[in-house]
Amino acid sequence: MPRLTRAPLLALLCAGLIALGLPVATGAAAAPAVSGEEGLLRMMHLSPDTPSVDAYIDSVSDPDVGVVLPAVTYGDVSPYQVVPAGTYTVSARAAGADPASPPVLASTVTVAPGTATTIAGVGFFADLGFAVLSDDLTLPTAGQARARLVNAASTGAPLDLTLTGGTVLAGDLPFAESTDYVDVPGGAGTLTVTPSAGEPSELPVELAAGSVYTVLVLDRSDGGLTVTSVLDAASPGVVPVGGVEAGAGGTALDEGLPVGRSALAVLALTALALAVGVRLPRRGRAPRHLAS
Protein backbone atom coordinates (compact mmCIF):
# COMPACT_ATOMS: atom_id res chain seq x y z
CA MET A 1 0.00 0.00 0.00
CA PRO A 2 2.26 2.81 -1.21
CA ARG A 3 2.04 5.97 0.87
CA LEU A 4 3.78 9.29 0.88
CA THR A 5 6.33 9.49 3.66
CA ARG A 6 6.02 12.18 6.28
CA ALA A 7 9.31 13.90 5.50
CA PRO A 8 8.21 15.48 2.17
CA LEU A 9 4.81 16.28 3.65
CA LEU A 10 6.39 18.19 6.51
CA ALA A 11 8.71 19.99 4.12
CA LEU A 12 5.66 21.08 2.13
CA LEU A 13 3.93 22.17 5.31
CA CYS A 14 6.89 24.28 6.38
CA ALA A 15 7.12 25.92 2.96
CA GLY A 16 3.45 26.83 3.07
CA LEU A 17 3.60 28.23 6.57
CA ILE A 18 6.71 30.26 5.85
CA ALA A 19 5.07 31.71 2.74
CA LEU A 20 2.09 32.68 4.87
CA GLY A 21 4.35 34.35 7.40
CA LEU A 22 3.32 31.88 10.09
CA PRO A 23 5.68 30.24 12.57
CA VAL A 24 6.75 26.66 11.96
CA ALA A 25 6.09 24.49 15.00
CA THR A 26 8.71 21.96 15.98
CA GLY A 27 7.49 18.42 16.55
CA ALA A 28 4.62 18.79 14.07
CA ALA A 29 4.95 15.10 13.21
CA ALA A 30 4.06 13.99 16.73
CA ALA A 31 0.81 12.06 16.96
CA PRO A 32 -2.10 13.78 18.69
CA ALA A 33 -2.57 12.72 22.28
CA VAL A 34 -5.27 10.16 22.92
CA SER A 35 -7.81 11.46 25.41
CA GLY A 36 -9.34 9.44 28.21
CA GLU A 37 -12.34 8.73 26.00
CA GLU A 38 -10.38 7.46 22.99
CA GLY A 39 -8.26 4.52 21.92
CA LEU A 40 -6.09 3.44 19.01
CA LEU A 41 -7.04 0.83 16.41
CA ARG A 42 -5.18 -0.43 13.34
CA MET A 43 -5.38 -3.32 10.88
CA MET A 44 -2.94 -5.77 9.32
CA HIS A 45 -3.40 -8.08 6.31
CA LEU A 46 -1.38 -11.18 7.19
CA SER A 47 -3.03 -13.90 5.10
CA PRO A 48 -0.62 -14.92 2.32
CA ASP A 49 -3.22 -16.36 -0.09
CA THR A 50 -6.02 -13.83 0.51
CA PRO A 51 -6.40 -11.19 -2.25
CA SER A 52 -6.56 -7.47 -1.56
CA VAL A 53 -9.51 -6.38 0.53
CA ASP A 54 -11.28 -3.19 1.52
CA ALA A 55 -11.35 -3.11 5.32
CA TYR A 56 -14.10 -1.34 7.24
CA ILE A 57 -14.12 -0.15 10.86
CA ASP A 58 -17.60 0.97 11.95
CA SER A 59 -18.83 2.07 15.36
CA VAL A 60 -21.67 -0.08 16.66
CA SER A 61 -23.20 2.79 18.64
CA ASP A 62 -22.67 5.66 16.19
CA PRO A 63 -23.23 5.10 12.44
CA ASP A 64 -21.48 8.39 11.70
CA VAL A 65 -18.15 7.10 13.03
CA GLY A 66 -16.26 4.83 10.66
CA VAL A 67 -13.25 4.47 8.44
CA VAL A 68 -12.39 2.59 5.23
CA LEU A 69 -8.96 1.16 4.47
CA PRO A 70 -9.01 0.51 0.70
CA ALA A 71 -7.11 -2.18 -1.22
CA VAL A 72 -5.25 -3.65 1.75
CA THR A 73 -2.93 -6.43 0.57
CA TYR A 74 -0.74 -9.07 2.21
CA GLY A 75 1.85 -7.47 4.47
CA ASP A 76 0.08 -4.11 4.66
CA VAL A 77 -0.28 -2.40 8.04
CA SER A 78 -2.49 0.64 8.51
CA PRO A 79 -1.48 3.54 10.75
CA TYR A 80 -3.24 3.65 14.11
CA GLN A 81 -6.63 5.31 13.88
CA VAL A 82 -7.77 7.48 16.80
CA VAL A 83 -11.28 6.27 17.66
CA PRO A 84 -13.79 6.99 20.40
CA ALA A 85 -13.76 4.20 22.97
CA GLY A 86 -16.48 1.65 22.30
CA THR A 87 -17.40 -1.40 20.25
CA TYR A 88 -16.63 -1.60 16.53
CA THR A 89 -17.58 -3.92 13.71
CA VAL A 90 -14.49 -4.82 11.69
CA SER A 91 -15.18 -6.30 8.25
CA ALA A 92 -13.43 -7.09 4.99
CA ARG A 93 -14.72 -7.21 1.43
CA ALA A 94 -12.96 -7.94 -1.83
CA ALA A 95 -11.16 -4.80 -3.02
CA GLY A 96 -13.60 -2.65 -4.98
CA ALA A 97 -16.68 -4.58 -3.85
CA ASP A 98 -19.96 -2.79 -3.12
CA PRO A 99 -19.82 -1.61 0.53
CA ALA A 100 -23.37 -2.94 0.93
CA SER A 101 -22.39 -6.45 -0.16
CA PRO A 102 -21.88 -9.23 2.44
CA PRO A 103 -18.35 -9.14 3.89
CA VAL A 104 -15.88 -11.96 3.42
CA LEU A 105 -15.11 -11.71 7.13
CA ALA A 106 -16.56 -9.73 10.02
CA SER A 107 -16.06 -9.51 13.75
CA THR A 108 -16.46 -7.07 16.62
CA VAL A 109 -13.83 -5.56 18.87
CA THR A 110 -14.13 -3.35 21.93
CA VAL A 111 -11.66 -0.48 22.24
CA ALA A 112 -11.13 0.52 25.86
CA PRO A 113 -10.11 4.11 26.69
CA GLY A 114 -6.39 4.70 26.45
CA THR A 115 -5.60 1.35 24.80
CA ALA A 116 -4.11 0.34 21.46
CA THR A 117 -5.43 -2.65 19.51
CA THR A 118 -4.37 -4.38 16.29
CA ILE A 119 -6.84 -6.41 14.23
CA ALA A 120 -5.01 -8.82 11.93
CA GLY A 121 -6.48 -10.94 9.17
CA VAL A 122 -4.61 -14.22 9.63
CA GLY A 123 -4.49 -17.78 8.33
CA PHE A 124 -5.24 -19.12 4.87
CA PHE A 125 -8.20 -17.80 2.90
CA ALA A 126 -10.11 -21.05 3.38
CA ASP A 127 -10.19 -20.52 7.15
CA LEU A 128 -9.50 -16.78 7.33
CA GLY A 129 -9.99 -15.16 10.71
CA PHE A 130 -9.34 -11.98 12.66
CA ALA A 131 -6.79 -12.03 15.48
CA VAL A 132 -7.21 -9.30 18.10
CA LEU A 133 -3.84 -8.22 19.50
CA SER A 134 -3.46 -5.97 22.54
CA ASP A 135 -0.61 -3.57 21.86
CA ASP A 136 1.76 -2.48 24.64
CA LEU A 137 3.10 0.96 23.73
CA THR A 138 5.10 1.34 26.96
CA LEU A 139 8.58 2.47 26.02
CA PRO A 140 11.55 0.29 27.03
CA THR A 141 14.42 1.29 29.27
CA ALA A 142 17.43 3.20 27.92
CA GLY A 143 19.39 1.33 25.26
CA GLN A 144 16.66 -1.27 24.79
CA ALA A 145 13.96 -1.84 22.20
CA ARG A 146 10.71 -3.72 22.78
CA ALA A 147 9.41 -6.14 20.16
CA ARG A 148 6.98 -8.96 19.57
CA LEU A 149 6.87 -11.36 16.62
CA VAL A 150 3.99 -12.41 14.39
CA ASN A 151 4.50 -15.46 12.17
CA ALA A 152 2.54 -14.55 9.05
CA ALA A 153 4.59 -16.91 6.86
CA SER A 154 3.17 -20.27 5.81
CA THR A 155 6.61 -21.37 4.58
CA GLY A 156 8.40 -23.68 7.01
CA ALA A 157 6.12 -23.15 10.00
CA PRO A 158 6.57 -23.57 12.89
CA LEU A 159 9.61 -21.32 13.18
CA ASP A 160 12.43 -20.79 15.65
CA LEU A 161 13.49 -17.14 15.84
CA THR A 162 16.71 -15.94 17.43
CA LEU A 163 18.13 -12.42 17.55
CA THR A 164 21.77 -11.41 17.30
CA GLY A 165 23.67 -12.50 20.41
CA GLY A 166 21.59 -15.61 20.91
CA THR A 167 18.42 -14.04 22.34
CA VAL A 168 15.65 -16.57 21.63
CA LEU A 169 12.47 -14.70 20.70
CA ALA A 170 10.34 -17.73 19.86
CA GLY A 171 10.57 -21.49 19.56
CA ASP A 172 8.23 -23.50 17.32
CA LEU A 173 6.07 -20.43 16.62
CA PRO A 174 3.10 -21.69 14.56
CA PHE A 175 1.76 -19.97 11.45
CA ALA A 176 -0.69 -17.13 12.32
CA GLU A 177 0.51 -16.94 15.95
CA SER A 178 2.32 -14.17 17.83
CA THR A 179 4.58 -13.75 20.85
CA ASP A 180 4.44 -11.40 23.80
CA TYR A 181 6.57 -8.25 23.80
CA VAL A 182 10.13 -8.66 25.07
CA ASP A 183 12.93 -6.17 25.65
CA VAL A 184 16.01 -6.62 23.45
CA PRO A 185 19.18 -4.59 22.82
CA GLY A 186 18.45 -1.71 20.48
CA GLY A 187 20.17 -1.28 17.12
CA ALA A 188 20.78 -3.11 13.87
CA GLY A 189 21.04 -6.86 14.04
CA THR A 190 20.14 -10.18 12.48
CA LEU A 191 17.08 -12.33 13.03
CA THR A 192 17.86 -16.00 12.46
CA VAL A 193 14.73 -17.79 11.24
CA THR A 194 14.86 -21.58 11.36
CA PRO A 195 11.97 -23.49 9.76
CA SER A 196 10.78 -26.84 11.08
CA ALA A 197 12.47 -28.58 8.15
CA GLY A 198 15.15 -26.63 6.35
CA GLU A 199 18.15 -24.38 6.66
CA PRO A 200 18.12 -21.23 8.82
CA SER A 201 17.94 -17.83 7.18
CA GLU A 202 19.67 -14.76 8.56
CA LEU A 203 17.52 -11.70 7.93
CA PRO A 204 18.52 -8.12 8.78
CA VAL A 205 16.38 -6.35 11.34
CA GLU A 206 16.78 -2.95 12.99
CA LEU A 207 15.08 -2.19 16.28
CA ALA A 208 15.94 1.34 17.37
CA ALA A 209 16.59 1.85 21.06
CA GLY A 210 13.68 3.51 22.83
CA SER A 211 11.08 2.19 20.38
CA VAL A 212 8.41 -0.51 20.30
CA TYR A 213 7.91 -2.79 17.30
CA THR A 214 5.78 -5.58 15.90
CA VAL A 215 8.08 -7.73 13.74
CA LEU A 216 6.31 -9.59 10.92
CA VAL A 217 7.73 -12.73 9.34
CA LEU A 218 6.25 -12.90 5.82
CA ASP A 219 6.35 -15.16 2.78
CA ARG A 220 8.27 -13.70 -0.17
CA SER A 221 6.52 -13.79 -3.53
CA ASP A 222 9.56 -15.53 -5.05
CA GLY A 223 9.83 -18.05 -2.21
CA GLY A 224 11.61 -17.89 1.12
CA LEU A 225 10.98 -15.50 3.98
CA THR A 226 11.33 -11.82 4.71
CA VAL A 227 11.01 -9.70 7.86
CA THR A 228 9.28 -6.35 8.30
CA SER A 229 9.61 -4.24 11.46
CA VAL A 230 6.46 -2.21 12.12
CA LEU A 231 6.89 0.76 14.44
CA ASP A 232 4.31 0.70 17.24
CA ALA A 233 5.68 3.59 19.31
CA ALA A 234 8.89 5.59 19.51
CA SER A 235 10.68 7.75 22.05
CA PRO A 236 9.55 10.25 23.24
CA GLY A 237 6.17 8.54 23.02
CA VAL A 238 5.31 9.20 19.37
CA VAL A 239 2.72 6.76 18.04
CA PRO A 240 2.21 6.42 14.26
CA VAL A 241 -1.37 7.63 13.83
CA GLY A 242 -3.41 7.84 10.66
CA GLY A 243 -6.24 10.24 9.92
CA VAL A 244 -9.48 10.39 8.01
CA GLU A 245 -10.18 12.56 5.03
CA ALA A 246 -12.88 15.08 5.84
CA GLY A 247 -14.83 14.47 2.61
CA ALA A 248 -16.90 17.44 1.44
CA GLY A 249 -16.17 20.71 3.13
CA GLY A 250 -12.95 21.44 4.93
CA THR A 251 -11.21 24.49 6.30
CA ALA A 252 -12.20 27.76 4.64
CA LEU A 253 -9.33 30.10 3.80
CA ASP A 254 -9.26 33.82 4.46
CA GLU A 255 -10.66 35.48 1.31
CA GLY A 256 -8.10 38.26 1.72
CA LEU A 257 -5.15 35.97 0.97
CA PRO A 258 -3.56 36.41 -2.46
CA VAL A 259 -4.15 33.50 -4.84
CA GLY A 260 -0.57 32.22 -4.61
CA ARG A 261 -0.56 32.22 -0.85
CA SER A 262 -4.02 30.60 -0.76
CA ALA A 263 -2.69 27.72 -2.83
CA LEU A 264 0.27 27.33 -0.52
CA ALA A 265 -2.05 27.42 2.45
CA VAL A 266 -4.14 24.61 0.95
CA LEU A 267 -0.99 22.55 0.43
CA ALA A 268 0.25 23.33 3.93
CA LEU A 269 -3.04 22.40 5.56
CA THR A 270 -3.24 19.22 3.49
CA ALA A 271 0.29 18.28 4.50
CA LEU A 272 -0.51 19.01 8.12
CA ALA A 273 -3.62 16.82 8.05
CA LEU A 274 -1.72 13.93 6.52
CA ALA A 275 1.33 14.35 8.75
CA VAL A 276 -0.33 14.53 12.15
CA GLY A 277 -3.61 12.73 11.48
CA VAL A 278 -7.19 13.93 11.65
CA ARG A 279 -9.68 12.52 14.14
CA LEU A 280 -12.50 10.24 13.05
CA PRO A 281 -15.66 12.09 11.96
CA ARG A 282 -18.28 12.64 14.62
CA ARG A 283 -22.06 12.53 14.29
CA GLY A 284 -23.40 14.89 11.65
CA ARG A 285 -20.70 14.18 9.07
CA ALA A 286 -20.85 11.67 6.27
CA PRO A 287 -20.10 8.14 7.54
CA ARG A 288 -17.08 6.12 6.42
CA HIS A 289 -14.16 8.10 5.12
CA LEU A 290 -10.95 6.86 3.55
CA ALA A 291 -8.09 6.52 5.97
CA SER A 292 -5.02 8.54 5.12
What is the pLDDT at residue 291? 61
Rounded Cα gap, residues 9 and 274, in angstroms: 8
Q: Taking a C-beta distance cutoff of 8 angstroms, is the pair 18, 24 a contact? A: yes
* C-alpha distance across the termini of the chain, in Å: 11
Q: What one-letter code names the amino acid at 111? A: V
**213 vs 251, which has greater pLDDT?**
213
Reply yes or no on whether the pLDDT at 214 is more than 70. yes
Q: Taking a C-beta distance cutoff of 8 angstroms, is the pair 192, 162 a contact? A: yes
**Please, which pLDDT band fits residue 31 given cuts at 50, 70 and 90?**
very low
Tally Cβ neighbours within 10 Å of residue 70. Answer: 14
Q: Taking a C-beta distance cutoff of 8 angstroms, is the pair 74, 48 a contact? A: yes
Q: How confident is the prediction for the chain on average, in pLDDT? A: 77
What is the pLDDT at residue 88? 97
In percent, how much of the chain has pLDDT > 90? 62
**Please, which pLDDT band fits residue 239 given cuts at 50, 70 and 90?**
confident
For the entire predicted model, the pTM comes to 0.73
Strand order in the sheet with 201-207: 167-173, 159-163, 187-195, 201-207
What is the pLDDT at residue 251? 25
Report which of 260, 252, 238, 250 is spatially closest to residue 286, judged by C-alpha positions.
250
Name the CATH superfamily housing domain 138-238: Domain of unknown function DUF5300 (2.60.40.2890)
The alpha carbon dihedral of 198, 200, 204, 209 has a sign of positive
Domain extent listing, the chain: 6-27+243-277, 138-238
- What mean pLDDT is predicted for residues 78-94? 95
Q: What one-letter code names the amino acid at 119? A: I
- Contact partners, residue 108, CB within 8 Å, separation at least 6: 60, 87, 88, 89, 90
Reply yes or no on whether the pLDDT at 28 is more than 80. no
Reply yes or no on whether the pLDDT at 30 is more than 80. no
Question: Residue 11 class from Cβ within 10 Å (0-12 exposed, 13-18 middle, 19+ buried)?
Answer: exposed
What is the pLDDT at residue 80? 93
144-152 vs 211-219, strand pairing mode: parallel
**259 vs 191, which has greater pLDDT?**
191
The CA-based angle 152-73-112, given to 5 degrees, is 70
Report which of 210, 118, 196 is spatially closest to residue 161, judged by C-alpha positions.
196
- What mean pLDDT is predicted for residues 56-85? 93
What is the pLDDT at residue 255? 31
Tally Cβ neighbours within 10 Å of residue 111. Answer: 21
What is the pLDDT at residue 269? 35
Give residue-wise pLDDT tens across range 149-196.
999 999 999 999 999 888 899 999 999 999 999 999 999 999 999 998
**237 vs 229, which has greater pLDDT?**
229
